[in-house]
Amino acid sequence: MAVNDLRKMWHARKWMKQTEPFLMTWHAHLGYSLNLFSYFKKPTTVEEVASKHQLDEVLLKRWVDVGLTVGHLKKKRRNKVKSSRQMVTYLTKTSKRSVGILLEEMFELHIPTLLTYKHELPKGDHQEKTPVANMVAETSTLLEAVTLPKVASRLNKQKSKRVLDVGCGLGGYIKKLAEQFPSIQFHGIEIDQDVCQRANDENGYKNVTIEQGDFKDMPFQQPYETVMMNNILYYFTLVERIALIKKAADVLKRKGELMIITPLADGKHGRRFASAFNSFMTAHKDMNALPTKKELQYIAKQANLKIVEERALIKEGGWYLIRLKRKT
């Protein structure tokens, strides 16, 4: 593994850790400005609060999940939740000791103004805006330094000759693996045309082909020993995920292996980051909630696969490697 890749990953982890205080402040601000801490002053359920105060139940559940991981909320019996005493004292509008107005000013005035610097500081029209697809593809490459050794080990054990990477982005995984395994044929599928074009422009490997298209609709003539899906499940609904995994099972050889790298909503590690990430994914109009372990077990069963390994790759972010094989 290149020293530069290790350094990049170390710095990425450092910045992930440094964002945790912002997560706590965001949660506190939302709880104060929408009176959420008051609604949970006495133990109650998410469903009861959402119904009584006409709130989006799914988004409220995400806010509660974050609150439980950062300690602002406490879990009680019978799925009930209660605000911590400190939150009720200092972050409710009816409390005489409340300091919540400071957070409201910060989030409603200061932070939005600071974000305008990106647009106001450069003079003229020369500032380039990074397309979302390219942004996501670039950030995904930061995970490669940690995940590649594990993936390479599995390719060795599988004696893979053909590998398919679904949603390959810029092709970072398969290009680096192609250098390590020149005898393996790597095939990448990427749905975004601009990202796919860039991936091909930067492809100098004879054993790598990258194709633009929707994996679910594409025909495949030969099966693969290994199929990979890295950080793509949150782009799909549960129904779409089932179809995606079923298609992957169809293109696997009999003893082939499906490797999924994804953050889990309920993993043992990285609960704070995962809960925040899940809140973002749920609120974003083009994305979906993170998968859970129970959901992946259900999907695997629908596709006649079984989960043979669940390994934490990046504990700070809750990223896991999930390996699936055909049921015998």
Q: How much is the average pLDDT of 173-199?
A: 95
Comma-separated ranges of CATH 3.40.50.150 domains in the chain: 136-326
- pLDDT in the model for residue 20: 83
Cα 1 from Cα 144, distance rounded (Å): 10
H-type alpha helices, 34-143 = 36-39, 46-53, 57-70, 85-90, 100-105, 111-115, 117-120, 132-140
User: What average pLDDT score do residues 298-308 get?
Assistant: 96
**pLDDT recorded at residue 163:** 98
Q: How far apart are CA 249 and CA 279, in angstroms?
A: 30
Residues 32-63: b if buried by 16+ CB within 10 A, e if exposed: bbebbbbbbeeebebeebbeeeebeeeebbbb
Query: Residue 313 has what pLDDT?
Result: 86
On the question of pLDDT at 1 being above 60, the answer is no
Q: What share of the chain is helix, strand, coil (3-state, %, to 5)?
A: 50, 20, 30
157 pLDDT band (50/70/90 cuts)? very high
Closest by CA position to 147, among listed 165, 123, 127, 121: 165
The pLDDT tens digits for 7-34 are 777 777 788 778 888 999 999 999 999 9
Per-residue confidence (pLDDT) for residue 15, from 0 to 100? 81
The string of pLDDT tens digits covering residues 202-226 is: 999 999 999 999 999 999 989 999 9
For the chain, where do the domains classified as CATH 1.10.10.10 start and end?
Answer: 3-120
Does residue 251 register a pLDDT over 90?
yes
- Answer with the residue of higher pLDDT: 106 or 123: 106
pLDDT in tens, 109-153: 999 999 999 888 887 665 666 676 666 666 666 677 778 888 999
pLDDT for the residue numbered 55: 98
The pLDDT assigned to 273 comes to 87
CA 160/CA 182 separation, integer angstroms: 12
Q: What is the pLDDT of residue 220?
A: 92
What per-residue confidence (pLDDT) applies to 243? Answer: 96
Yes or no: domain 136-326 corresponds to CATH 3.40.605.10? no
Give the CATH architecture of domain 3-120: Orthogonal Bundle (1.10)
